[in-house]
């Protein structure tokens, strides 16, 4: 059983009387009356991060991935709470100093404030982050419309290569290693785009589990499908050169998660404002496909018009 089956089977019914919970099918809790938006995430060593050799980078990664849930909803994060479970080996004075220093840097970068949390003893290391923002409106997950264009910000796949390098499954030059590992630990979340999204996006989600899995989640309660064009899926020059040099397929690198870019849909009439916003903010925004009727099969199409099979659609927690 994966996490979404678990939620649907055991917990969704408990939330039905609470409209703010959004049927547990979105990234956030949204109380419009009080302009309150909340998200929560848990990160476990061995699952969400490999080890704790670089605590200053691990904490940056989990803070950014957590506030990304609000950003993709069009909500600026304001406060965060952090709870940590660890022991004397993980919570040394040296590590705690590094964590504190990184948190200060992230607070300054994203204008967020630490407001509380908890610490407990545990043999296994984990963190939970609660992010809080305030808004009268959000972009919901399941509001895509037929014929919407599908967009994604930034580039996909760099973080996955960084992970494989850290796992010693990929060898490359020192320069490329530093680039990809940095993308893994310090994802480029698009906070400048946050409130702009409300002007044009019909639906949105951040790419945490993988492009295809998150696309499926974005339309999972609608009678819709999608068509994505492989050529238009954005990757960095570094990833392009790495794939070309090693004769690897782009398709195997674009839906593995940990990108934290914004995936959204918008009406055809919004293309000009999106293009202008991209130029004005200096944020790469790529139109990668279309939302179709549900009687059409969701697919990725190559330049020859052939339908492609994606072996790894994204990450799923199994229980």
- How far is 288 from 300, CA to CA, in rounded Å? 10
Ordered by where they begin, the domains of the chain are 3-134 (3.30.1330.10), 149-308 (3.90.650.10)
pLDDT for residue 319: 44
- How far is 62 from 43, CA to CA, in rounded Å? 7
0.75 exceeded by pTM:
yes
pLDDT for residue 23: 63
Average model confidence (pLDDT) across the chain? 91
pLDDT, tens only, 39-70:
999 999 988 888 899 999 999 999 999 999 99
Given a cut of 70, is residue 316 above it in pLDDT?
Answer: no
pLDDT for residue 194: 97
Given a cut of 90, is residue 8 above it in pLDDT?
Answer: no
Q: Among 155-159, 209-213, 275-279, which is the least confidently predicted range?
A: 209-213
- How far is 216 from 228, CA to CA, in rounded Å? 12
- C-alpha 233: how far from chain center: 16
Q: Treating both helix axes as pointing N-terminal to C-terminal, what angle do 174-185 and 158-166 enclose, rounded to 10 degrees?
A: 110
pLDDT, tens only, 81-104:
999 999 999 999 999 999 999 999
Mean pLDDT score, 237-248: 96
Instruction: Check: CB of residue 162 under 8 Å from CB of residue 260.
Output: no
pLDDT for residue 6: 56
Given a cut of 80, is residue 238 above it in pLDDT?
Answer: yes
């Amino acid at each position: 059983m994966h996490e979404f089956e678990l939620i649907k089977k055991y917990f969704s019914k408990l939330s039905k009387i609470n409209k703010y919970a959004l049927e547990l099918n979105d990234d956030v809790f949204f109380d419009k009356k009080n302009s309150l938006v909340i998200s929560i995430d848990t990160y476990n060593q061995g699952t969400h991060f490999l080890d704790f050799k670089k605590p200053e980078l691990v904490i940056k990664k989990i803070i950014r991935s957590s506030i990304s849930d609000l950003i993709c909803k069009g909500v600026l994060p304001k406060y965060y709470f952090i709870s940590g479970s660890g022991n004397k080996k993980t919570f040394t004075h040296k590590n705690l100093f590094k964590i504190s220093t990184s948190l200060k840097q992230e607070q300054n970068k994203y204008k967020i404030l630490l407001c509380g949390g908890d610490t407990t003893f545990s043999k296994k290391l984990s963190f939970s982050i609660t992010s809080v923002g305030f808004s009268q409106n959000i972009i919901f997950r399941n509001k895509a419309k037929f014929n919407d264009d599908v967009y994604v910000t930034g580039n996909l796949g760099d973080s996955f290569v960084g992970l494989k390098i850290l796992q010693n499954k990929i060898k490359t030059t020192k320069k490329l290693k530093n680039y990809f590992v940095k993308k893994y630990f310090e994802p480029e979340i698009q906070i400048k785009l946050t409130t702009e999204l409300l002007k044009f996006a019909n639906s949105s989600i951040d790419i945490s589990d993988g492009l295809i899995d998150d696309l499926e989640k974005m339309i999972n309660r609608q009678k819709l499908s999608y068509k994505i064009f492989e050529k238009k899926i954005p990757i960095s020059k570094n990833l392009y050169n790495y794939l070309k040099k090693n004769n690897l397929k782009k398709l195997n690198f674009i839906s593995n998660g940990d990108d934290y870019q914004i995936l959204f849909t918008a009406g055809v009439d919004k293309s000009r404002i999106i293009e202008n916003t991209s130029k004005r903010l200096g944020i790469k925004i790529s139109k990668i496909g279309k939302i179709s009727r549900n009687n059409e099969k969701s697919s990725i199409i190559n330049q020859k018009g052939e339908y492609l099979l994606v072996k790894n659609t994204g990450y799923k927690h199994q229980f």
